[in-house]
Structure 1
């Protein structure tokens, strides 16, 4: 890891210490004040940090901040630039592009049901709290996202000069002199993001709502394939969020997992591209090379391209990848046979699938699309879709 990147991570870490009492209390309570989750009975509530209970006023403020372009160095970029509601809060690009045009090494992950995620990035097991995670896009330098490092004072001055924001911060945090602060900004953003809950797909209505006609016969056959031991999909994409990293009020313990899926095998010993080594970049443990989090499959048909680096274009190709037990790249600097990656997960062993079975599996995956989530007006841009706010 480059020395400059270490300084960036250290800066963000110190900021996060200032904004919270530590990761040990990140999931210490499930407290709410006046917020109604409006969840079906089968869906447990998320766990909310004790130091940031849910309040409607805080969610409203966070919604405005999530779409606020003036939180970027150019004044033309917001959280929503990489997390678009109609795409289940992804951006449709192979890899994200920050405010300054710098390309990132990884794909923008869906924010659907992010409140149920005990780890919040593709491959950093240390980022476990939304309030702290918000610091990374705002102040990270390698790569640049929002590009606001060193501009904390300007951010607060902009918010204080805006009458609407003054009113919303007061409603959310009281009228004390410290109501408008970086800490409260991240708390509001986190509160809004915890409302990104997707629980009304056709599959939800079929499996949990008792509507036997909600999905097609093909999707029902695909469900059986998905949960079969021959395909092994459910091991990494199971449970209420179709991921094996999950936390909620009904779990006795936190479930966190990272996997190597045989996407690369550059040197025949399991190597991944240097800027995308997975958990290994944090731990430096050889066995962590290429290990990434299994993302939720909710709304998966909307979140192409796929994998941590957006290197697989379609769901059909994703199935082909797992069917082969790993990807083979024949030429170029990343050439290698991923099916022979010695570090890949035991669940990536390959399987046989007929064309009709593949179509059934695809039908099941498409049944996980929740259009009420992607069209929920409470999650949309409060500034208007075509709003353009000048930089400060």
Structure 2
């Protein structure tokens, strides 16, 4: 008998052993437990959309599925790419029909803690409500689903994988595949986009005293000083004044004019990008935009609400000057003299050494694990570690038992999506044997980009 046959019989024997183990069927509403970085509060979760493992699994597929655009060319992830901390690297986002958005796609880093969604709309205060905007916005068209709602639902209802995922996520609903459930699932996935494993976090939480370089440490002193004023708009655990979470006594959104424009010398901004003024029509709100988180800045260039500043070095120069001066063209003007500019944007001077220290601190807010985490990655890219439910490159005994239970139909597929190698919504005996093989031999490769 060949060694290959011996190995094959061994795999079958081990699989048979695990099949004999008893299992408790998982409910379709398996509660999701946030694994939060040290020092992070628990995000608020709407009472009508509790976090479940099954909804998150469904939301991840929907987030990456181009069928959520009218012409099938774009997904949420087209403008919110994981490797860019869930933005797209463009100055201004481009919709599914080619229309250019006047604003840059915001990073979704720690979006679960955001008080207002978007750059300048205080009315968008929930991820569920915000998800509808790119779907149905017509000026400009983003995903372009207006008038194609029934077509979208039909696409998803015809997909075997989605039939299973919706059934698991919304078992108690008579109408499982619905727009309401789509946005609930996407919002649930987005609430898991939590980043806090940075050199700064490791240092301040006492996890690693060597995590922060000396330059970054000195840059932090500059950042939190009254001399630079950065922390007033970008303070707290998420480096933004716009934050909400459980136990927060009140929510506040910081909208600020940072002197980016002063077109007519009286405070004007480009007519298609006037900030909070578009909502309130109050003159003092001209050019006021939300102060975003500063986490993962190295991945999210270009910067500002319209992507008009290319590098972090230029961002520092902008604030050092107290605003931007545009010398010619339709937007010419001295932003440092904008009458509506924030009092915190006063300008400052830095030596070249201090500038490099400040840059080192800002880069210490980068979280490489966040932009490469398999659990947040595109689920349509095959994951080779069959039964690796935790997406960590290792298959444990518990994970293998889960895969067996999924194959038996006594456990939820959403608990172990990698076990379904073909993606048809089931785990076959061949796929189960693949999982056992991985458990025995380990996973020594990952898909490109992971």
Q: 2:168 aligns with which of 171, 183, 188?
A: 171
Q: Deviation per CA, 1:20-60, whole angstroms, max 9, x where unpaired?
A: xxxxxxxxxxxx96111111341111000000000000000
Q: 2:219 aligns with which of 187, 197, 222?
A: 222
Q: 1:336 aligns with which of 333, 338, 341?
A: 333
User: Is the contact between residue 219 and residue 367 of structure 1 (CA under 8 Å) also seen in structure 2?
Assistant: yes
TM-score if structure 2 supplies the norm length?
0.78
User: Is the contact between residue 37 and residue 197 of structure 2 (CA under 8 Å) also seen in structure 1?
Assistant: no
**Runs ≥4 in structure 1, deviation > 6 angstroms?**
none
User: In the alignment, does 2:102 pair up with 1:105?
Assistant: yes
What is the CA RMSD across the aligned residues, in angstroms? 1.3
Q: 1:75 aligns with which of 67, 72, 75?
A: 72
Aligned to 1:29: none
Question: What is the number of residues matched between the two proteins?
Answer: 355
Q: Structure 1's 209 and 178: CA in aligned 2 closer, same or farther, altered over 3 A?
A: farther
Q: Distance in 2 between matches of 1:176 and 1:115?
A: 25
Aligned to 1:150: 147
Q: 1:271 aligns with which of 263, 268, 272?
A: 268
Alignment of 1:124-273 (within 5 A): 124-174=121-171, 176-273=173-270
Aligned to 2:344: 347
Q: What 5-or-longer segments of structure 2 have no aligned partner? A: 1-28, 383-450
Aligned to 2:314: 317
Q: What SS does the aligned partner of 1:134 have?
A: helix
Shift, 1:251, TM fit? 1.3
Q: Distance in 2 between matches of 1:375 and 1:163?
A: 28
Aligned to 2:302: 305
Q: Distance in 1 between matches of 2:299 and 2:160?
A: 37
Q: What SS does the aligned partner of 2:141 have?
A: coil
Q: Deviation per CA, 1:39-91, whole angstroms, max 9, x where unpaired?
A: 13411110000000000000000000000101112212100000000100010
Q: Deviation per CA, 1:226-279, whole angstroms, max 9, x where unpaired?
A: 000000000000001100000011311112110000000001110000000000
Q: Deviation per CA, 1:327-371, whole angstroms, max 9, x where unpaired?
A: 000000000000000000000000111110000000000111101
Structure number with bigger Rg: 2
Q: Distance in 2 between matches of 1:176 and 1:207?
A: 45
User: Is the contact between residue 33 and residue 53 of structure 1 (CA under 8 Å) also seen in structure 2?
Assistant: no
Higher relative contact order (CA 8 A, sep 6+): 1
Range moving further from structure 2, 55-64 or 152-161:
152-161
Shift, 1:321, TM fit? 0.2
